[in-house]
Structure 1
Amino acid sequence: MTSTRPTAPALSAEDLVVEYPAGRGQKVHAVSGVGLEVAAGETLGILGESGCGKSTVGRSLIQLPPPDSGTVRLGDVTLTGLAPRELRRARARMQIIMQDPVSALNPRRRVKDLVWEGPSIWGSGEDTRDKDERIDTALRDVGLDPATVRERRPHELSGGQCQRVCVARALLLDPEVLICDEPVSSLDVSVQAQILNLLETTVRRRGLSMVFIAHDVAVVKNISDRVMVMYLGKVCEVLPSDGMHHEAVHPYTRLLLASLPEVQRGPQPAGAPEPGPAGAAAELPSPLNPPSGCRFRTRCPLATARCAEREPALREIRPGHRIACHHAPPERNPV
């Protein structure tokens, strides 16, 4: 008889808290109690405005630096609390691709050495012929001609080529999880599409899990299986990407969707709140002193006294769809 026990997620986090000292006894509340799960082969998009804490979540997942509190698990290994040597070894299973590809590459090193950094550190593939073959294969896999780029340095490449080198370097260690921290935001629009297609194809071909962080609604929706919307260090809503336009309920998610051109918007779900112009124009509160209760209440057209007094819990309103809002519809049983 086949076991029906659910498979453990490839990556999970629970109650992550990250705070930074800001002088005069103040603290920046960057991430406050965030949890997530990424299944094997799944892409989770993290969406939100600049300063919402999405990049901090990505860095805390890979322990750069570790969160102030909370738990991160990579498969069956708990990363938080590991000794440095064990953490370094476990972290090889998870690679991060940074926002600025040029700054992420050592300007003094050639492409062939940059791509080989991981195996060089871990002492794998010492045979020169094996090394050259693996480097050339990795470069071809990301759409680069080894004969053209392997001897070049980063300043001799375009931004898109540098990002392809970063992807090749990350993949050479055969990771289980990729964390992409706004990997296309600094690239031209035409190049963005190429890199997104490369990431999507690579994840599907290798069966990788991916956390994709960005502030572009359309980009996150198109590349992700599920989307986690963040605001001021908190999770507002988690929902499937294919139903985002017509199933999103949280006022902040609706505000983000309203920022898209009209032709890209979907129909409004029954009973969902529609933020007015005041919500879009209101100033973002400071993470030094976030609002009490619901952190979005200062921009929300539905805010009441209850929103200021009590923080909304993240609850499931339908399978795979969770929301943190006092005014969300009640839980719906699947048909």
Structure 2
Amino acid sequence: MSGSPLIQIENLKKYYPVNKGFKDIFNKEKKFVKAIDGVDLTIDKGEILGLAGESGSGKTTTGEILVRLQEATDGTITIDGHPLNLKDKQAQKSFRKEVQMIFQDPYETLNPRFNVFETIAEPLRIHGLKDKKALYEKVMEVLEIAELKPAAHYVHRYPHELSGGQRQRVAIARGIVVGPKVLVADEPVSMLDVSIRADILNLLKDLRKKMGLTMLYVSHDLSTIKYLCDRIAIMYLGKIMEIGPVDEVVRNPQHPYTQVLLSAVPVADPTYEKKRILIDDEAPDQINLPEGCRFGPRCPYAKEACKTCNHDYTEVFEGHQHACIFAKEEQIKNEDH
């Protein structure tokens, strides 16, 4: 990757106000759920960045803000040099063409009254393509790209007549039909049978190669992130804990939270003895967040200094960053023994 990043996210925040009850009427202090709290990310052109974390970490919210399904509370996002908070309606429409999203459950996001043709043709009509012949040819072309072959066999079907994998391919076809620069994929294989997950991941890889797509791949499944992505960002309670090349982070995780996530990934080798890192199952309250490191109350290596940690990254080797020195110290100590 070279040049300036295609996507630049700086100090991104998303706070949800907490609805007050009768007892809170006289309390002037406003309370918020801090879903995203000061996130900085860059994604280079043609790169696939994996965003991982447990439920409630803020990863889906980040993706939804990127496609303007939600508005940020604070922070800036620029895509290909253009700010995300566009006010001009024509500019907003152009932005919609450049950034598309694939959702977790295709059955919930496909209109049951639309057949496959209408589903994929709708964004084309919105962006000005009215000719019936051109519409039909473009829909057939994109169905073939999404590996729904022969396209004529699927074009007049409705969502309930398709399998889960076929519905997700239709959703992917709808996302790429307008030729976007950026694709946000929110858990695109988690609702699918294990037998077809690799096919969908391979399709996303091919789309990156054929169309030059840049992707934000949101998932809790580290194995699919390792297979698909170039870099990985580990998110916890609205903060980025660790970021780096995916192979390096998986092989040598620096932050305790990353180590915990990786220790829970099953290994397809019955003779391999894996050490599971046990932590408190309950995450902190997202309204009254802990001081310092967000993972501190659950961390097996927590020190007093963690209460003043501000999650600033420290470069440890080329292309890889981390935010915790205590896990590394413990690792070195164990290796010495």
TM-score by length of 2: 0.88
SS in 2 for 1:7: coil
- Does structure 1 conserve the Cα–Cα contact (< 8 Å) formed by 2:58 and 2:237? yes
Aligned counterpart, 1:291: 290
Aligned counterpart, 1:141: 145
CA distance in 1, matches of 2:78, 2:136: 34
* Alignment match of 2:41 (pick from 30, 36, 40): 36
Aligned counterpart, 2:311: 312
Of 75-84 and 218-227, deviating more is 75-84
- Does structure 1 conserve the Cα–Cα contact (< 8 Å) formed by 2:15 and 2:73? yes
Aligned counterpart, 1:91: 96
* Alignment match of 1:255 (pick from 241, 255, 260): 260
Structure 2 unaligned spans of 5+: 21-29, 330-337
- Does structure 2 conserve the Cα–Cα contact (< 8 Å) formed by 1:313 and 1:325? no
Superposed CA offset, 1:192-246 (max 9, x none): 1211111111112211111000000101111000000001110000010122232
1:72-221 aligned at under 5 Å gives the runs 72-124=77-129, 126-144=130-148, 145-221=150-226
Aligned counterpart, 1:222: 227
Give the superposition deviation at 1:13. 0.7
CA distance in 2, matches of 1:301, 1:315: 21
CA distance in 1, matches of 2:252, 2:207: 29
SS in 2 for 1:134: helix
SS in 1 for 2:244: strand
What letter is aligned with 2:309?
R
Structure 1 unaligned spans of 5+: 1-5, 268-273, 331-335
Give the superposition deviation at 1:82. 3.5
SS in 2 for 1:187: coil
Runs ≥4 in structure 1, deviation > 4 angstroms? Answer: none
Give the superposition deviation at 1:158. 1.2
Aligned counterpart, 1:333: none
The number of aligned residues is 315
Give the superposition deviation at 1:128. 2.0
TM-score by length of 1: 0.89
Give the superposition deviation at 1:257. 0.8
Q: Relative to structure 1, is the Cα distance of residues 31 and 117 closer, same or farther in structure 2, using a 3 angstrom cutoff? A: same
Q: Percent identical across equivalent pairs?
A: 38
CA distance in 1, matches of 2:72, 2:51: 17
Superposed CA offset, 1:137-162 (max 9, x none): 11111111322111111111111111
What letter is aligned with 2:157?
R
